[in-house]
Structure 1
Amino acid sequence: MAKHKTAHIISHTHWDREWYMPYEHHHLLLIELMDKLLDTLDQDPEYRYFHLDGQTIIREDYLQVRPEQRERLDRYIREGRIHFGPWYVLQDEFLTSGEANLRNLLIGHMDARPFGIISKTGYFPDSFGNMGQAPQILQQAGITNAIFGRGVKPTGFNNEVSEMDTYESPYSEMVWRSPDGSEVLGVLFANWYCNGMEVPADPEAAKAYWDKNLADAEKFASTPHLLFMNGCDHQPIQTDLSAAIHTASDLYPDVEFVHSNFDEYLKALEDSIPSNLVTVEGELRSQHTDGWGTLVNTASARVYLKQLNQSGQTLLEKVAEPLAAFAALAGVQAYPHSLLTYAWKTLMQNHPHDSICGCSVDEVHREMVTRFAKSSQMAEAIAAQSAAALTEAMDVAGVAAWGLDAVPFTVFNTSGWSRTGTVTVELITVKKYFPEGPNPQALARELAQEPLGEWQVMDEEGKVYPAGLADLGVHFGYELPKDRFRQPYMARKIRVSFPAADVAALGYRTYALVPAAAAAGAEAAALDSVHVQGYTMENAKLIVAVADNGTVTVTDKQSGAVYAGLNAYENTGDIGNEYVYRQPEGSEVLTTEGLTAEITCLEQSPARVVMQTVLRWEVPASADETFLTEKRQMVPFTERTAQRSAQMVPLVLTTLYTLEAGSGMLQVSTSFNNQAKDQRLRALFPTGLESDHHYADSVFEVARRNNRPAAEWINPSNAQHQQVFVSVTDGVHGLAVANKGLNEYEVLLDGKNTIAVTLLRSSSELGDWGVFETPEAQCLGEQTVEYAIIPYTGDGAVSGAYAQAYQYQVPWTVLQTQGPATRVPAVNGQPHSGGVNLPVSGQWLSWNSEASPLAFSTLKMAEETGDLVARWYNLGGEPAELKVQPAFGAEAVYESDVLERRVSKLAAAEQNVDGYKIVTQVYQLEK
């Protein structure tokens, strides 16, 4: 009898490493599961395959406890019975950077390389929305499909399918297209990834089971090939599955039941796909739903995690990797591949959706803070060693203008654009090692008696810069030479702040602190400056006036556009959970617009002005008692009736507004001691610009999003994800708000297109399928958030506004030089560069960044080939020219892909980059 349908049963477990239990509790269950899996594979030849949830870290986690099972586990991976990869972890795509998403894929492939086999399934089973550039990324990695659970259909409690007529695709199969036109076959878990779990072997139970599940799958399938996922979250494997498949085959002779895998299923699917599949484009964010199940508010759960993540991934991809690449290109240090991989893996252990989203129990997130610290500490050490190796090789002796008493220091710009801004560095003017005196106390007293003297900052051309100097007194320090024991010392230190101008992209510039007498008569550098009148700051680009209520009015001097009332604060109640924000029905929205601020000018110099405002506010202490009862009784958040408490607590907001010389952005830092629970705090930026859409920085794209949600949307909130910034423009004028680790925003339908950026959200429960209290998600205590206001004219990319926003997240790297001509000798009194002499200013890679729609993304070294890797992406829809000038010897240049492979040789480091394309070049270095 001919089979009319095929039921592909794929065994798996969706492995959240940590979630409603701490990591080690889940870890123990993983060991038990893997032990049972290996035994079942040994004993049952009909148990053909197991899908290891698309993440290679499961192997690491298992072998950490069961190292004796390495050979046994690895044999099944090599044989293709355990499907392995392609990711290192199942990340949340929108809360991790573009480069972090790529490192995840790259490291997953690296982990699988020794086995000669890797799953080429684009697996996103439970991501809280899917990035729009996923098809392009997958295609570049040789993956032609995407399997996902969210984004294009409504799901309810426990992921039940809602009965709606407004599906974006009538089938579970569709074409998914990136903005650049790349396409993959998309397969939606329309009946979730547990629709084939616990298959009965008993005929009576199996009949009822399969009658329902076959009909449910056929409801969405476009072909006779039906997908059944045999497993669920932390699901133990089904050891009697072979018997259950035999039972099903006997009951349904017209259905072929096979223990399958994604390779076999996708091949069968592709051979029978109909021609009328719907094409879905770009981001998959469940916009055609009621708006309650998008889980977007995880972007504001435990904001401190997002801040640590932004800092950590920026430190790795925008500081440590470029500096390590500079040092390798200079020949002063080998590129530390294994150390960087370790740092990335440690960071990415925080990137799974239940981790970085902040929607787990408190114990999980405490451990995450430690992981963030470990990864950042390694990245800091790599960056410091790379910068030190470079500065030790710099030929500071050749700068005649400085003289012998100069204290040189180097400013590294590891961003992809030329940079101007205020740089702060602590310098040692003199130091004495412990063996040089009777004891550290005597050395400290001796150094303290030395006069500080008067100093000026000078560049290599002999031009001087206005600088702020602060005597830091005597401090302990130490060196760790590579050839002898540690060298402790006491040192006299000085803090220097000055305006560094036009430091080359992917380059560096060395300055020196020189005695004022030696700088007498020197030419002043041509620089912008900041002026103050009352509570108004002004530089060449902006006028910033601080109002009585603490808001600011920003005038863009280029266009004359004025933006008033920026940075008022809004406070509302929240009776939702870590996943979902819900304001109590009918409750009042509080703002600081009617308060009076205490305003002080904290810092005033030609390079920088800092204004401080203090707002003394009171907000409700928490939700009322009803909320406690509703949580305990698991009342759905949409049905809760709790209100805010009548008790008030103080909320004192201290805001620093910083305007730097030459800068087109106003930097904002807000600090407060949070004592309120069950609430949300946002900063408001009324743009006053007319537009029905806005732009948000996402993963390798600036996504265009509608201000007004779809007709099906009933959630009063329309919060959305951002990476680095969000902007509103009317086509002539624009206003962008950049951030550091503030991933949630909303454009309000208030007639002003106000950008609302979430600064803090306080929750008290995990939510989802049970009752899990999370008191630490209230985020009580001291908080500091940072963001920036950037007005612009014309296109945000071409005008340079977006480049400013990207640079805002990247810290300067500044290091006192350790070369032989400094007053502070290098270790052993010799440079440590093996004879390499670098100029005091330089650039490793330049490109046509001026007025370009291209965004620079990364500079690193490829582990497999040793090539230098550089990546850009086109923010616009039109082709853009990329012209690169390497300042190092390259035998050949290749267009590459996200896996850093040599794809096609280029005649020169020049390309025409199609709209929205991610382009990677690799440079084969001269031997």
Structure 2
Amino acid sequence: MTTKKTAHLISHTHWDREWYMPYEHHHVLLIELMDKLLDTLDQDPEYRYFHLDGQTIIREDYLQVRPEQQERLDRYIREGRIHFGPWYVLQDEFLTSSEANLRNLLIGHRDARPLGVVSKTGYFPDSFGNMGQAPQILQQADIHNAIFGRGVKPTGFNNAVVDADSYESPYSEMIWRSPDGSEVLGILFANWYCNGMEVPVDSEKARVYWDKNLADAEKFASTPHLLFMNGCDHQPIQTDLPEALRTAAALYPDVEFIHSNFDDYIEAVTKDVPEHLATIQGELRSQHTDGWGTLVNTASARVYLKQLNQQGQTLLEKVAEPLAAMAHIAGVKDYPHHLLTHAWKMLMQNHPHDSICGCSVDEVHREMVTRFAKSRQLAEKLVSQSAQAIAESIHVQPAETWGEEAVLFTVFNTSGWNRNGIIEMDLIVDKAFFPEGPNPQALAQKVEKDALPAYQLIDSDGHVYSAEIKDLGAHFSYELPKDRFRQPYMARKVRVTFQAVDVPSLGYKTYALISVEKQAEIAEIAEMPDTSDVIEMQGMMMENGQLRVTVEENGTATIEDKVSGAVYKGLNSYENTGDIGNEYVYRQPEGETTLTTEHLKADLRIVEQSPYRVVMESVLRWDIPAGADELFELEKRQMVPFTERKAQRVKNIVPLLITTTYTLEAGSNMVKVKSDFNNQAKDHRLRALFPSGLVTDDHYADSIFEIAKRSNTPAKEWVNPSNAQHQQAFVHVTDGDHGLMIANNGLNEYEILQHEEGSTIAVTLLRASSELGDWGVFETPEAQCLGPQSVEYAIIPFAGDAAQSGACASAYVYPILWTTVQLGALARTFERESHAGADGKKVELPLSKQWLAWNAQGSSLAFSTLKIAEETGDLIARWYNLNSEPAELNVQPGFECASVYESDVLERVKGTMQGQSQTVPGYKIVTQGYALR
């Protein structure tokens, strides 16, 4: 082992694109910084390297304003003086989906590809905790290290290093292991990522500086190689660093001071690292700290952002990409790589930790809402185009027996599981295009004058469905032909609502509205569906074959799992507390009594009743304090630490009216819940409570490519009264026989409350705060989230293993929207143009199809993605194992493919596979590539 100390100074700037100033304010500073960096690299060969913060978007942001500097910037990247990538942005790992984390890595590598070089540094400088599967993801991308600032040894709030009696690792170097066993060398910024900033040139000042900083670094280093990060948040580069290093070298002849980079530093550390490094397992969530500095409550800051993000992610990865892949495989539409990348980039520009965490000034988050909308609009257009291209190629000739008046439509299931559910779709049953000199009123009267036939709903297999069909009258619409000007028209529309049954995963099924007379003519080939599972109700009780649900007088739900016999009472009461923290941290006022709706009386009514769906409503009228008192304003202005604040809530009250709907569908294993309220109170938190009655020590939360097992009780160092944590799709508790799962639609924060009678799941619906927090005084009045709010979640009881019971699959499918498209202009003629395939032949698709089938039933595997790889043009499909035991994956492609191969998170060809079957080890992420013919 080398004995001489080496001080590695790595120049960088940690670049939050937006935070305590809006994006364009930061953008101006970025342009100035990059101009200065390029000038310095030009002028001073001793200024050797600069680390561009691990995110390729910095180059994109700079060249947006300074395109003329591209050759100059790219030359330094190619030469290795500017280290570039591997991410597109520095995301918050727990608030972005599994696939979003991979797209971030994939797009970062794609942006670096034309330059021929990408940093292979697993860089997580300021993530608010780290995902447990990061080592596996990094290893699959040929990244064998991870450098991070939080999650293991406490750094203390406001980035202050503190001593503690218990560390998860004695050194700043450690082995970090994923649940599947993948390992990387982990390096903690034990003295934060600014411990080498502003190095003095003056000898006297330099001695004071280095005496302290060398000792601090040596305290945690396991090798002679000491890491010093020369930079900090938005910090301009230190142009006189070479001179400062010469000063340091003269003062400390036993230490070698070098202007270094992560590649050289990691190589040196790897050679000298001791064999007895601690191994850190899974998620890095700073459980061995006082609990205040974990910043987990950013999961509930500005909940509306989390909801928009969840909608955007799901639309892209679970709808737009699979549909585009299906259309591409079918040969009816090229895969729109460029547009999908653009949509992902707009979405991921909201994923940096200070953005998606909701812990920035109001201007930042206003701009985020616009980005979310733009990404969503683009995804919606791509969904429409892909679905339409497939629909136009469906060969409807077999449906001619349905008659020319039949109205055909197709329902797409882009999830990884066969699916049942309620479909609600508007269909055109008549239309009239505007003539020259249009008279819209006359056209509207024309299309409305004819009486509609009595319709019957039938599917492509001849099954007849119970459906509600509502006449919507005449409506304006238009077509945008590819070869002529827009074509406006008036359309007669009907709305059809029914329960779709067994729509194939990653496929579609076609349905038709036909006249009752026509249905009678073909009755001999029509089969009535199985009607054994319908919704029954009595009073405020509703039930299907699996669940019995009663809405109680106080608005809570009692649910009996008819399969296991378990009964869960008092579900979905509401809890309200004050919050005198900030966007980062929740802090309840000292001595405050928690308010609940447990003893309120609700107004109850039936909103909807049909054989396939019942909706019940509870309305609670609740008075809560209007906000925090005047002392709170004083404490914020004077920067009193939130742990020391004495403010209380005021005595005056404001109304909080909560309207809750409970929806039960035939054949469903979940109760869907929607809560609407108009928030007029400030400085508070609202949660929904779900007592399980199950006595457990641990619980399980959906996280990034895993279901993380977490203790209900934090480590002994934890002093924060709250133990809130992150979730993705769901959280559940189980005693091994029975379990209760709460799925969500963009609600990322929960807490497990321990009681003698069992564990209660608390899900945060709203947290209202008024300041950013952290290092200064930044008011954020819009973080109070005043005005109308709407949240959605689902209650899923289950028996046995959550994955194998189907509960996890239900939670994963829950937020995915159905995609529907009407066949043809009216689906009244069968002479429609089909698309031509690569061989010039017309593409004719069947009335129902599945492009990729796999053994989903009872499996511990979760489906993750279906897309087309940009480099190879091959189909990419991904799964991951939710349990520790190996699981068999058997795949049946519904298309011709030349070969199947093992791929990785960067969608590369890794090795051939024999057939489509594969044993997936516990907790493993597996990606398969399908070479198309």
Q: Which residue of 1 aligns with 2:886?
A: 879
The reply to whether residue 703 of structure 1 matches residue 708 of structure 2 is yes
Distance in 1 of aligned mates of 2:271 and 2:801 = 44
Paired AA for residue 838 in structure 1: L
The reply to whether residue 580 of structure 1 matches residue 579 of structure 2 is no
Q: Which residue of 1 aligns with 2:859?
A: 852
Q: Deviations over 1:587-610 (max 9, x none)?
A: 111111111111111110011110
Distance in 2 of aligned mates of 1:790 and 1:813 = 24
Q: Greater shift after overlay, 745-754 or 87-96?
A: 745-754
Q: Where do 5+ consecutive residues of structure 1 fail to align?
A: none
Paired AA for residue 503 in structure 1: V
The reply to whether residue 118 of structure 1 matches residue 131 of structure 2 is no
Q: Deviations over 1:277-324 (max 9, x none)?
A: 000000000001110000000000000000000000000000000000
Superposition deviation, residue 3 in structure 1:
7.0
Q: Could you tell me whether the CA contact under 8 Å between 2:397 and 2:830 is conserved in 1?
A: no
Distance in 1 of aligned mates of 2:855 and 2:22 = 49
Among 599, 607, 611, the alignment partner of 1:602 is 607
Q: Deviations over 1:894-925 (max 9, x none)?
A: 11100000101001111100000000000011
Written as runs of structure 1 = structure 2, the 5 A alignment for 1:487-526 is: 487-520=487-520, 521=523, 522-526=526-530
Distance in 1 of aligned mates of 2:296 and 2:512 = 48
Q: Deviations over 1:62-107 (max 9, x none)?
A: 0000011010000000000000000000000000000000000000
Q: Which residue of 2 aligns with 1:569?
A: 574
Q: Could you tell me whether the CA contact under 8 Å between 1:135 and 1:183 is conserved in 2?
A: yes
The reply to whether residue 722 of structure 1 matches residue 766 of structure 2 is no
Distance in 2 of aligned mates of 1:447 and 1:188 = 70
Distance in 2 of aligned mates of 1:192 and 1:153 = 11
Superposition deviation, residue 35 in structure 1:
0.2
Q: Deviations over 1:826-870 (max 9, x none)?
A: 9xx534556211001010000011100000000000000001000
Distance in 2 of aligned mates of 1:762 and 1:155 = 27
Q: Where do 5+ consecutive residues of structure 2 fail to align?
A: none
The reply to whether residue 830 of structure 1 matches residue 836 of structure 2 is no
Distance in 1 of aligned mates of 2:450 and 2:627 = 56
Q: Which residue of 1 aligns with 2:681?
A: 676
The reply to whether residue 743 of structure 1 matches residue 726 of structure 2 is no
Written as runs of structure 1 = structure 2, the 5 A alignment for 1:418-567 is: 418-435=418-435, 438-520=438-520, 521=523, 522-527=526-531, 528-567=533-572
Q: Deviations over 1:700-756 (max 9, x none)?
A: 000000001111111000000000000000000001000000000001012320000
Q: Could you tell me whether the CA contact under 8 Å between 1:659 and 1:667 is conserved in 2?
A: yes
In structure 2, relative to structure 1, the CA distance for the partners of 1:825 and 1:47 (3 Å cut) is farther
SS in 1 for 2:755: coil
Q: Could you tell me whether the CA contact under 8 Å between 1:222 and 1:273 is conserved in 2?
A: yes
Superposition deviation, residue 823 in structure 1:
2.3
Distance in 1 of aligned mates of 2:407 and 2:426 = 11
Q: Could you tell me whether the CA contact under 8 Å between 1:3 and 1:254 is conserved in 2?
A: no
Q: Could you tell me whether the CA contact under 8 Å between 1:389 and 1:833 is conserved in 2?
A: no
Q: Could you tell me whether the CA contact under 8 Å between 1:624 and 1:644 is conserved in 2?
A: yes
Q: Could you tell me whether the CA contact under 8 Å between 1:151 and 1:285 is conserved in 2?
A: yes
Among 869, 876, 893, the alignment partner of 2:900 is 893
Q: Which residue of 1 aligns with 2:390?
A: 390
SS in 1 for 2:633: helix
Superposition deviation, residue 557 in structure 1:
0.7
Distance in 2 of aligned mates of 1:162 and 1:126 = 17
Q: Deviations over 1:609-639 (max 9, x none)?
A: 1001111111110011110000000000000
Q: Which residue of 1 aligns with 2:672?
A: 667
Q: Could you tell me whether the CA contact under 8 Å between 2:396 and 2:830 is conserved in 1?
A: no
Distance in 1 of aligned mates of 2:585 and 2:480 = 49
SS in 1 for 2:553: coil
Q: Which residue of 1 aligns with 2:412?
A: 412
The reply to whether residue 767 of structure 1 matches residue 773 of structure 2 is yes
Q: Which residue of 2 aligns with 1:222?
A: 222
Q: Which residue of 2 aligns with 1:25?
A: 25
Paired AA for residue 872 in structure 1: W
Distance in 1 of aligned mates of 2:877 and 2:384 = 22
Q: Could you tell me whether the CA contact under 8 Å between 2:573 and 2:688 is conserved in 1?
A: yes
Distance in 1 of aligned mates of 2:875 and 2:339 = 17
Q: Could you tell me whether the CA contact under 8 Å between 1:571 and 1:590 is conserved in 2?
A: yes
The reply to whether residue 813 of structure 1 matches residue 819 of structure 2 is yes
Distance in 1 of aligned mates of 2:601 and 2:121 = 57
Q: Among the aligned pairs, what percent are the same residue?
A: 72
Paired AA for residue 812 in structure 1: W
Superposition deviation, residue 450 in structure 1:
2.2
Q: Could you tell me whether the CA contact under 8 Å between 1:678 and 1:763 is conserved in 2?
A: yes
Distance in 1 of aligned mates of 2:349 and 2:748 = 19
Paired AA for residue 833 in structure 2: Q
Written as runs of structure 1 = structure 2, the 5 A alignment for 1:173-188 is: 173-188=173-188
Q: Which residue of 2 aligns with 1:916?
A: 923
Q: Could you tell me whether the CA contact under 8 Å between 1:818 and 1:831 is conserved in 2?
A: no
Q: Which residue of 1 aligns with 2:697?
A: 692
Distance in 2 of aligned mates of 1:462 and 1:912 = 38
The reply to whether residue 281 of structure 1 matches residue 286 of structure 2 is no
State TM-score, norm by structure 1.
Answer: 0.98
Written as runs of structure 1 = structure 2, the 5 A alignment for 1:70-469 is: 70-435=70-435, 438-469=438-469
Q: Deviations over 1:638-685 (max 9, x none)?
A: 000000111100000001111011000000011011101000000000
Paired AA for residue 821 in structure 2: L
Q: Could you tell me whether the CA contact under 8 Å between 2:299 and 2:357 is conserved in 1?
A: yes
Q: Could you tell me whether the CA contact under 8 Å between 1:402 and 1:462 is conserved in 2?
A: no
Q: Which residue of 2 aligns with 1:589?
A: 594
The reply to whether residue 792 of structure 1 matches residue 802 of structure 2 is no
Q: Greater shift after overlay, 765-774 or 522-531?
A: 522-531
Superposition deviation, residue 456 in structure 1:
1.6
Superposition deviation, residue 400 in structure 1:
4.0
Paired AA for residue 830 in structure 1: E
Q: Could you tell me whether the CA contact under 8 Å between 1:401 and 1:461 is conserved in 2?
A: no
SS in 2 for 1:429: strand
Distance in 1 of aligned mates of 2:35 and 2:268 = 31
Paired AA for residue 557 in structure 2: V
The reply to whether residue 779 of structure 1 matches residue 785 of structure 2 is yes
Q: Which residue of 1 aligns with 2:808?
A: 802
Q: Deviations over 1:143-196 (max 9, x none)?
A: 000000000122224201111121100000000000000000000000000000
Superposition deviation, residue 814 in structure 1:
1.0
Q: Deviations over 1:757-791 (max 9, x none)?
A: 00000000000000000000000001100000000
In structure 2, relative to structure 1, the CA distance for the partners of 1:437 and 1:800 (3 Å cut) is farther
* CA-based RMSD: 1.2
Superposition deviation, residue 824 in structure 1:
7.5
Distance in 1 of aligned mates of 2:401 and 2:497 = 21
Distance in 1 of aligned mates of 2:689 and 2:218 = 48
Paired AA for residue 877 in structure 2: A
Q: Could you tell me whether the CA contact under 8 Å between 1:139 and 1:184 is conserved in 2?
A: yes
Superposition deviation, residue 463 in structure 1:
1.9
Q: Which residue of 2 aligns with 1:925?
A: 932
Q: Greater shift after overlay, 391-400 or 334-343?
A: 391-400
Distance in 1 of aligned mates of 2:613 and 2:861 = 30
State TM-score, norm by structure 2.
Answer: 0.98
Q: Deviations over 1:506-525 (max 9, x none)?
A: 11100011112222355421
